[in-house]
Amino acid sequence: MPGELSNQQLAGIASEFGTPVYIYHAEKIAEQYSKLMHAFSAFDARIFYAAKSLSNVNVLRYICSLGACLDCVSVNEVKLGLLAGFAKENILYTPNCVDFNEILEAKELGVNINIDNISILEQFGNRFGNSYPVCIRLNPHIMAGGNFKISTGHVDSKFGISIHQIRHIERIVRTTRLNVVGLHMHTGSEIKDINVFLMGLEVMFDMAEHFPNLRYIDLGSGFKVPYQPGEAETDVNLLGEKVAEAFARHETETGRKLQVWFEPGKYLVSQAGYFVVKANVIKQTPATVFVGVNSGFNHLIRPMMYDAYHHIENISNPNGTGRIYTVVGNICETDTFAWDRTISEVREGDLLLFRNAGAYGFEMSSNFNSRLKPAEVLVQNGQARLIRKADVFEDLLRNQLL
């Protein structure tokens, strides 16, 4: 068990590479991957890592070396995946609202294509008939997930083709002779209740009857990891047991053996990631004690965007007296990482550690306020390696025409 990176290791990396800095622990990713493989060992499972959670090519390459496949939501992610060494058969491209030309580009690259819109299904069928297999993303109309912004399966969602449009799908498949080899659902993120997957699976089984060439059912992701101390994570072992039972039953009833695909992002990389910042100032106002750090929502947007909790520790003074702080960034609008949080006494210059920063951390960063994106470091076999340099001023000007 790789455990966690120690405060000393993290502080050492912060002093070597500067702050703010994202630090990823390779062995922790491997640990999460083997937890899934173990939980899903009773059936033919494939893990497609969701590239959009953390797409540094070095991380992709590492995840590829574990034996995982890759789920991509843009053709650029597909290209990053190919560059990182994923075989095209092991890449699934799941776009939403893209131009048909982007889908053509992905087809040229030879990856698995997941179609989530009737109009695209029709265009693809008219163009390619049964010459290129496809997967169809269905909307099973199940409300799930930790936050409305990350729920994708409900009736108002833009994702997938409604299961109520199955007759229309069938008509297109029949007339264009489309070869449908996969059915896909992804109902949201941070789903603790495994019944969401099991209910979705039953819907997928019903739909599967309409597609004789089916090879796999993709149950997407949304596996929850603990962000707050003591919080539960999705019980993947129990999920694995139930999914195994359901597929065994389905196989007996239909005589068909299907692969089961999953697309975890957060589950694989969230806890492997640490974000280390420096306390620039302590600011006492009549109501609050603020810690102002050398970062902001331009580097880690989850607290502002999703009201997400990230555990914060003062690694420069871990045994100090606990005091209540509001931790804020330096962006010129409300930019709060944590409200009324007890942290061991913070002094100007101390290093603060944000946990669970691997997923949707660096990946959602921007140059808002003309601030520079931070560096990324990968720790593997105890060695820290810079895998992305921090921005420099020239990066802000790179595409500007003077």
Are 140 and 153 contacting, i.e. CB atoms less than 8 angstroms apart? yes
CB of 79 to ligand PLP, least distance (A): 18
Nearer to ligand PLP, 233 or 376 (CB): 233
- Facing residues of 218 across strands? 184, 261
- Which segments of 132-284 are extended strands (E)? 134-139, 161-162, 180-184, 216-218, 259-262, 273-284
CB of 207 to ligand PLP, least distance (A): 17
- Per DSSP, 384 falls in state E
Residue nearest to ligand PLP (CB): 265
Nearer to ligand PLP, 114 or 295 (CB): 114
Nearer to ligand PLP, 74 or 298 (CB): 74
| Cα pseudo-dihedral 288, 292, 296, 301, rounded to 10 | -40
- Facing residues of 385 across strands? 378
Are 95 and 71 contacting, i.e. CB atoms less than 8 angstroms apart? no
How open is the CA angle 324-326-327, to the nearest 5 degrees? Answer: 120
Nearer to ligand PLP, 221 or 365 (CB): 221
Are 134 and 178 contacting, i.e. CB atoms less than 8 angstroms apart? yes
CB of 377 to ligand PLP, least distance (A): 22
- Residues lying near ligand PLP in the complex (CB under 6 A) are found at 50, 52-53, 71, 73, 94, 186, 189, 220-223, 263-267, 359
Tokens of 106: 């992905």
Nearer to ligand PLP, 149 or 389 (CB): 149
Tokens 């991957």 appear where?
A: 33
Nearer to ligand PLP, 125 or 160 (CB): 160
Nearer to ligand PLP, 71 or 122 (CB): 71
Are 384 and 26 contacting, i.e. CB atoms less than 8 angstroms apart? no
- Per DSSP, 191 falls in state B
Are 220 and 262 contacting, i.e. CB atoms less than 8 angstroms apart? yes
CB of 262 to ligand PLP, least distance (A): 8
Taking phi first (over 0 means left), then psi (-120 to 50 degrees means alpha), and beta for anything else, what does residue 190 get? left
Three-state DSSP at 78 gives helix
Residue 72 falls in the annotated catalytic set = no
**Cα 94 from chain centroid?**
13
- Measured CA to CA, the distance from residue 43 to residue 248 in angstroms comes to 8
CB of 116 to ligand PLP, least distance (A): 9
CB of 203 to ligand PLP, least distance (A): 17
- Measured CA to CA, the distance from residue 257 to residue 329 in angstroms comes to 52
CB of 263 to ligand PLP, least distance (A): 4
Known catalytic residues?
332
